[in-house]
């Protein structure tokens, strides 16, 4: 599962590097921008960048419970089959697809009505080029409400499953099984447990918290400078933190990374 999760993180990171997807707040509006100057600025390409970025973002969140489900199956000595794990993956895939690719219905194309607002939000002059953007109109909050509700549903279900799996895992393993496990097995279990806990806890602060703040600020019509940019930047950090958690929690990987900096002698070619 760590490999599958790493693959999703890699695709998410590549997509983020290609799109530079970010956000900005205007009065009663949330602007989603594709800030890569080399990305085509047509509406279709803007939607493509936004849809795929949100898709991978929430697929990475939906993947978190799968690691705990797989761990529970191993701990109860009756691992879930590949078909069962694929079924769980399809649920996460379905929610991420629904959220990401519903963006053309929840965000409207750019128009002359919104141009002064976005220029003010980005502190751009009249002659400056605008990036590709779409608008979440909070004045008509019906559709945008569905967008935010979908975020909360994904988060709630993901962390509810994680909590349930943690409780079941604690009730499954016995003291006799712990005593019978070899030192190597115990070490591997500790490493994997640390990794998946770090990968599950970190998004609470960098994805859940900004997602909670977004609708509150949008409904109040708050124009907080650079909050959208900082929030989206934080949402794009889980792939980096996930990879660092694997390196730091597994001693053999940690030694490979730190060896060039700690070696007493460096051989020249």
Taking residues 211-218, report their average pLDDT: 81
Structure tokens at 68: 């705990």
pLDDT at 174: 52
Taking residues 74-83, report their average pLDDT: 82
Confidence of residue 212 (pLDDT cuts 50, 70, 90): confident
Taking residues 195-207, report their average pLDDT: 87
CA separation, residue 119 to residues 14, 112, 129, 233, 255 (Å): 28, 11, 10, 20, 49
pLDDT at 36: 93
pLDDT top residue among 172 and 46: 46
Among the residue ranges 46-50, 203-207, 225-229, 237-241, the one predicted with the least confidence is: 225-229
Measured at the CA of 232, the angle between CA 227 and CA 236, to 5 degrees, comes to: 150
Question: Does pLDDT of 256 surpass 60?
Answer: yes
Q: Could you report the per-residue pLDDT of 135-149, keeping only the tens digit for each?
A: 988 877 677 788 888
pLDDT at 74: 79
pLDDT top residue among 21 and 194: 21
Residue ranges per structural domain of the chain: 1-249
CA separation, residue 6 to residues 10, 13, 95, 203 (Å): 6, 10, 19, 15
pLDDT at 175: 45
pLDDT top residue among 108 and 185: 108
Lookup result for tokens 């940690």:
254
The answer, as to whether pTM is greater than 0.95, is: no
Lookup result for tokens 């493509």:
48
CATH domain 1-249 topology: Rhopdopsin 7-helix transmembrane proteins (1.20.1070)
Taking residues 57-81, report their average pLDDT: 87
Confidence of residue 151 (pLDDT cuts 50, 70, 90): confident
pLDDT at 31: 92
Question: Does pLDDT of 268 surpass 60?
Answer: no
Q: Could you report the per-residue pLDDT of 218-255, keeping only the tens digit for each?
A: 777 777 778 888 888 889 999 988 888 888 887 777 78
Query: In percent, how much of the chain has pLDDT > 90?
Result: 33
CB count in 10 Å sphere of residue 10: 14
Question: Does pLDDT of 173 surpass 70?
Answer: no
Could you give the CA distance from residue 92 to residue 88 in angstroms, rounded to a whole number?
Answer: 7
């Amino acid at each position: 599962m760590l490999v599958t999760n790493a693959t999703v993180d890699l695709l998410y990171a590549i997509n983020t590097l290609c799109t530079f997807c970010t956000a900005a707040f205007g009065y009663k509006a949330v602007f989603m921008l594709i800030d890569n100057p080399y990305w085509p600025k047509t509406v279709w390409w803007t939607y493509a960048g936004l849809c795929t970025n949100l898709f991978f973002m929430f697929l990475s969140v939906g993947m978190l419970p799968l690691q705990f489900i797989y761990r529970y199956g191993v701990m109860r000595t009756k691992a879930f089959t590949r078909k069962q794990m694929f079924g769980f993956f399809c649920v996460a895939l379905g929610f991420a697809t629904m959220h990401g690719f519903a963006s053309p219905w929840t965000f409207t194309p750019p128009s002359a009505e919104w141009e002064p607002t976005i220029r003010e939000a980005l502190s751009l002059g009249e002659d400056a080029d605008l990036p590709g953007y779409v608008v979440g109109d909070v004045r008509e909050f019906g559709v945008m409400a569905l967008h935010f509700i979908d975020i909360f549903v994904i988060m709630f279900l993901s962390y509810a499953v994680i909590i349930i799996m943690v409780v079941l895992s604690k009730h499954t393993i016995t003291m006799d099984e712990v005593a019978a496990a070899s030192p190597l097995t115990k070490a591997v279990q500790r490493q994997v447990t640390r990794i998946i806990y770090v990968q599950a806890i970190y998004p609470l602060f960098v994805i859940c918290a900004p997602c909670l703040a977004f609708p509150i600020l949008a409904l109040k019509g708050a124009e907080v400078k650079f909050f959208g940019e900082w929030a989206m930047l934080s949402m794009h950090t889980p792939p980096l933190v996930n990879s660092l958690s694997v390196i730091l929690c597994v001693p053999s990987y940690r030694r490979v990374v730190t060896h060039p900096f700690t070696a007493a002698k460096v051989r020249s070619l």
